[in-house]
Chain A
Amino acid sequence: MGLREYVIRRLILLIPVALGVVILIFALLQVVPPTRRVLVYLTGSPKELSREVIQGYIKMYGLDQPVWVQFAIWLNEVIHGNLGYSEYTGPVLYNLLKRAPATIELVIYAAPLIILIGTWAGINAAVNRDKTFDHISRVLSVLGTSLPSFFFGIVLSAIFIATLKWTGPGRLSPQMDSYLTVLRRLGQWHDYTNLITIDALLNGRIDYFIDALKHLVLPVTVLVFINTATLVRVARSSMLEALSKTYIIAAKAKGLSQKEVIYKHARRNALIPVVTLSGLIVGGMMTGLVITETVFLFPGLGHWAAYAAQRFDVPVVAAYALFSAIVFVLANLIVDILYAYIDPRIRLG
């Protein structure tokens, strides 16, 4: 069948799901009465929201038209980047782009740690089945799945922020943050990537690098601890299953040492489902981000969405949901392709 055909096929199957996602968001929006729903269409701050003004907007955006007409109008707006206006934070798309880098910075540090630690721990637990390492990692992973991320975050926050005062909420300490605006105005700081740790290195400011890193440690720890748990379990059971296969005994019968058998033969097979799960975990991190960012007041997308949800700010929450779904669907796609690439049984039919 070939890799190319497989990718094309997956892309085609993607379309109904993507469409469905969009429709679902639209359907949810329909539940909101039109007088409130106008906000999803506005591009700029309305000077006033009197009844006549609202009625005007309803007419303008066709909120009194039949459903399918509304859908077309809404979809059109979304494609042109109009995600609405939030009463609390302003234009939605603008906020989305402004706050994305903070979240991306978290993900860049958390994701590789999750994947590496998860697979390493899982595989080693399987290889050393029922020995100390196995028991410890199993206990930790059970703990990781049952610990609510917000509780863990609060505990860490109370200890390290409030009591030890070792770090603080947000991305930078308050003084550093306000001084940054000065630096920018003086032209001594350029935002190359909007990722503070990287920009700090690029601008040659180690102090900012360290400060930003300190602020990343706690949220990343929470994210890693919670998400690694499932990966460890899957890696472990996948490895155990691979180790029980006949070709492992056959490999030993060829004269390979136990170590070679484990790392050359079993591991590659075991990693196949692990790779797919890793992708899904990273794609699904959007959930953990909401809570983690809120606990540590990290100014990213998650915190923005949580803040909006508390105030029932529909345009923001809807936009975040749409965004998360797209990220997740893309992650699924990438993972499927990777899976086909790694496992010759899928690739060659």
Chain B
Amino acid sequence: MKIKVPERFEPTVKEIKFILKRVKDTPLSLAGITIVLFFVFIAVFAPILAPPAPGLNPYIIPRDESLGFRVEPSPPSSTHPFGTTMLQRDVYYGCIWGTRWAFEIALKVIIAIVFIGVILGLIAGYYGGVIDEILMRFTDIILAFPGLILAMCMTTVLTQAGWTTIDSVLLSIVLIGWPGYTRLIRGETLRIKNEDFIEAARAAGSSDLRIMFRHILPNAIYSVIIVASLDFGSIVLTTAALSFLGLGAPTGWADWGRMIYDGMSFVRGGLRWWWSWTYPGLFIVFFVLGWSLLGDALRDVLDPLYRRK
């Protein structure tokens, strides 16, 4: 792969090569990457793997009219490889499009909280003083609530006020997520702020903004990447939990948690209708597992402390 890279980027390229090599060497991280890539593939090729019904929002699982309006799920068959869930909705379709949906939610949320976290964290860490104190109080207050519960409360309240459940779930998770990143970046900013090279940059006349974005952020970004990849999984887990409680996507939506919620009533029958909740569940498990392994692998590689072990 002989791509000619401008000299400026050579250290970056070398760094990336080192990271890739280290990741390749550990079997667990390799597993993590494979799993994640597998899901990415599914998400990207969803329309091909599970063609949506024409005219319908692809995220709504189409029902199989030929099987009637029966509530009980139908077992896996040639037309429905994973069987159907309540009201004859195809489980396979739900799992495939559920992947895309999971990515959509997770991406939206992570971009939002990283963005907020970076801005607020840099400001709080760099300028300190009153701004820092106030921001820290805010984060303290939000962090005083166990995450899911505040999200539950917020979703309930927002839907009462007229929001759709999906929007309220997204907003809730963003609201419980930004304090974590703000604190993380603030911590990193504080740590890096005292390094000599910042002093040097200031002596050379760099503006505050420049120092923050050109010097502090690139150093702080490693922790953010690690936490973000771990969070990818946990955000999906939280949305699934909210859906499981009936607070997420509406019925019939291609959302793993929702499918399990719909399938919950069939647990009473034991393993008779196992496919309605097992497949979505397994998708969740492996999705989160993949991202956890990836996050761990990245931590082993990117954390300078662990590098030389």
Contact = CB atoms under 8 A, between A and B. Distances in A.
Q: Do chains A and B touch in the complex (CB under 8 A)?
A: yes
A286 B151 CA distance: 13
A320 B149 contact: yes
Contacts of B244: 148, 150, 291, 294
Interface in A159-189: 159, 161-163
A283 B155 CA distance: 22
Interface class of chain B by DSSP: helix
A162 B269 contact: yes
B161 A31 contact: yes
Classify chain B: how many residues form its interface, as a range: 35 or more
B237 interface: yes
Nearest to B290: A146
A151 B149 contact: no
A105 B1 CA distance: 62
Contact of A290 (B148, B271, B278, B296): B148
Interface in A187-227: none
B265 to A, nearest CB: 11
Nearest to A294: B245
Contact of A148 (B147, B149, B155, B288): B288
Contacts of A325: 144-146
6 cross-chain pairs, A with B, having the tightest CB-CB distances, nearest first: A162-B270, A20-B141, A146-B288, A310-B246, A151-B281, A321-B153
Contacts of B147: 287
Contact of B264 (A154, A155, A161): A154
Contacts of A151: 260, 277, 281, 284-285
Nearest to B152: A309
A104 to B, nearest CB: 17
A159 B278 CA distance: 12
Nearest to A25: B153
A21 B157 CA distance: 16
Interface of B: 137-138, 140-142, 144-150, 152-161, 233-234, 237, 240-241, 244-247, 260, 264, 267-271, 274, 277-278, 281, 284-285, 288-289, 292-293, 296
A309 B153 CA distance: 7
B149 A310 contact: no
A113 interface: no
Contacts of A284: 146
A142 B289 contact: yes
B157 A32 contact: yes
A89 B245 CA distance: 18
A291 B153 contact: no
A320 B154 CA distance: 12
Nearest to B137: A16
A77 B153 CA distance: 20
Contacts of B150: 321
A83 interface: no
B142, B154, B247, B267 — which one has the most chain A CB atoms within 10 A of its CB? B267
Contact of B284 (A142, A148, A310, A332): A148
A148 B241 contact: yes
Contact of A154 (B159, B241, B267): B267
B5 to A, nearest CB: 36
A158 interface: yes
A161 B278 CA distance: 16
B267 A162 contact: yes
A143 interface: yes
Nearest to A27: B157
A54 interface: no
A177 to B, nearest CB: 18
B245 A310 contact: yes
B206 to A, nearest CB: 35
Interface in A280-304: 283-284, 286-287, 290-291, 294-295
5 contacts: A25-B153, A36-B160, A146-B285, A151-B281, A294-B244
Nearest to A318: B153
Contact of A321 (B152, B160, B247, B274): B152
Nearest to B284: A148
Contacts of A318: 153, 157
B237 A148 contact: yes
Contact of B293 (A142, A148, A290, A308): A142
A146 B293 CA distance: 10
B281 A163 contact: no
Contact of A143 (B158, B241, B260, B289): B289
A28 interface: yes
